[in-house]
Amino acid sequence: VWGNCLSFIEDNITPQAYKTWFSPIKAVKLSDAALSIQVPSKFFYEWLEEHYVKILKVALTKELGETAKLVYVIKMENTYGNKQPFTERIPSEKPSNVGNQQVDVPVKHKDPELKNPFVIPGIRNVKIESQLNPRYNFESFLEGDSNRLARSAGLAVSNKPGGTSFNPLLVFGGVGLGKTHLAHAIGVQIKEHYPERTVLYISAEKFTQQYIESVKKNNRNDFIHFYQLIDVLIVDDIQLLSGKAGTQDVFFHIFNHLHQNGKQVILTSDKAPVDMQDIEQRLLSRFKWGLSAELQQPDFETRISIIKNKLFRDGVEMPEEIIEFLANNIKTNIRELEGAIISLIAHSSFNKREITLDLAKKIVDNYVKNTKREVSIDYIQKVVSDYFQMDVDTLQSKTRKRHIVQARQLAMFFAKKLTKASLASIGSQIGSRDHATVLHACKTVDNLASTDKQFRKFVEDLDKKLTM
């Protein structure tokens, strides 16, 4: 079919034009009356659409009849991501404006049919590979108290992309708590409900690379244009835009365009917007336009169901005792939890050994040496005092100076969090206080950490120091 089209076209345009614009095209697929042709670049496609759409229409109609359709498969330039080779398009009746570029090779003689514009109803259909991982769906994203809000907001958005007040939807939370999984799940679900919508998942890192590349190649506008065609844009780990003014700027424009046009934006971040640093204020304020939903550490029940679900999917059985052991010891990161399970299964099958509690302990030790290793209350007091540049005696003293009280409360808080000591025992070791004082300290730290940014930073810093 394509061969016949080509001969027809060859007869109607100059040899030079034919060679430039038609020899590089490859026909890739014919299904019903739709012929897919592969072109080397987006620019190439635009040029064809601008200058040769009519002759293409005539040639195709001759071959395939009135219902003929042409689908462009654009071999994407690196600018738009390596893993993203295709943009498919059907030529529209309205050629895009290519400024004052000349038609260098006009059609030699006009066929009467050429007067009819290339009208295909309801088109300007862009298909961009979504980059979604179908395994990351809602079904495999187990629900628990820790993720209920984020999950249901995600579902709401999937049912009505762009049509809820959750725009953008910002999902934030610590490492390995399911941000990427949930982000994909939303995209996958939208594709299921609305297959015709253009969904794109991209990490902020890759977005940045693409942007830099586009600047180098002098096609920043193409870059922006590409993103403006998207109906649902999912950007993962936007905290990585911090300090990158150029990328933030371009993202700001894309964001505004999409938002104004009722397109859905979904973002993830490892921090709450208030804690994001080196992100422009105007961008931050937009992140807060919609809904920010946190993914928290899963509670024990959720951890158990995640483990069981994983085992079930892998067709592996494991004694209840070991499942509970895992759930009790790996709490802060679901990816680590999964890693430990895989490692456990691998060990037992390589060595042809039963999965025993002993083996589980060894493996968990490898996985969570950081968080697991029990720290002593003395050590905690030392680390906290060092951090605030005071000595341990001062920390323990009776003074009511605010910064010393805070340091003491932090020490109590971490003693509670990181050791198995009772409140009473913690109190007696940190400057002989009673258990009520310790309890009060823990509550105060919790409160301050959620309201005071500076204080939250103290908690995070200390947490890192103590658990590494």
Q: Which residue ranges make up the annotated binding site?
A: 176, 178-180
Residue 334, binding choice from Mg ion, ligand ADP, none, Cβ under 5 to 8 Å by partner class: ligand ADP
Asked if 239 interacts with Mg ion (CB under 5 A), we say no
Contacts 24+ apart (CB under 8 A), 367-375: 367/330, 367/336, 367/339, 367/340, 367/343, 368/329, 368/330, 368/336, 370/467, 370/468, 371/331, 371/332, 371/467, 372/329, 374/418, 374/419, 374/420, 375/418, 375/419, 375/466, 375/467
Residues 258-277, mask of contacts with Mg ion (x by CB under 5 A): --------------------
Annotated binding site for ATP: 176, 178-180
Question: How many residues sit close enough to Mg ion to count as binding (CB under 5 A)?
Answer: 2
Q: How far is the CB of 393 from ligand ADP (least distance, A)?
A: 41
Q: How far apart, in whole angstroms, are the C-alpha atoms of residue 110 and residue 205?
A: 50
Q: How far is the CB of 146 from ligand ADP (least distance, A)?
A: 8
List the beta bridge partners of residue 234. Answer: 201, 266
Q: How far is the CB of 166 from Mg ion (least distance, A)?
A: 20
Q: How far apart, in whole angstroms, are the C-alpha atoms of residue 297 and residue 334?
A: 8
Between helix 320-329 and helix 334-350 the angle, nearest 10°, is 140
63, amino acid identity = E
Which parts of this chain interact with ligand ADP (CB under 6 A)?
Answer: 140-142, 147, 173, 175-181, 306, 334-335, 338
* CB closest to ligand ADP, residue no: 178
Name, in order, each residue with C-beta under 8 angstroms of 365's C-beta and a sequence gap of 6 or more. 372
Q: How far is the CB of 167 from ligand ADP (least distance, A)?
A: 21
**Segment 164-193, which members bind Mg ion (CB under 5 A)?**
179-180
Nearer to ligand ADP, 233 or 380 (CB): 233
Residue 266, binding choice from ligand ADP, Mg ion, none, Cβ under 5 to 8 Å by partner class: none
Residue 178, binding choice from ligand ADP, Mg ion, none, Cβ under 5 to 8 Å by partner class: ligand ADP
Q: How far apart, in whole angstroms, are the C-alpha atoms of residue 222 and residue 216?
A: 12
Q: How far apart, in whole angstroms, are the C-alpha atoms of residue 274 and residue 285?
A: 10
Nearer to Mg ion, 81 or 173 (CB): 173
Residue 42, binding choice from Mg ion, ligand ADP, none, Cβ under 5 to 8 Å by partner class: none
Contact set with Mg ion (CB under 5 A): 179-180
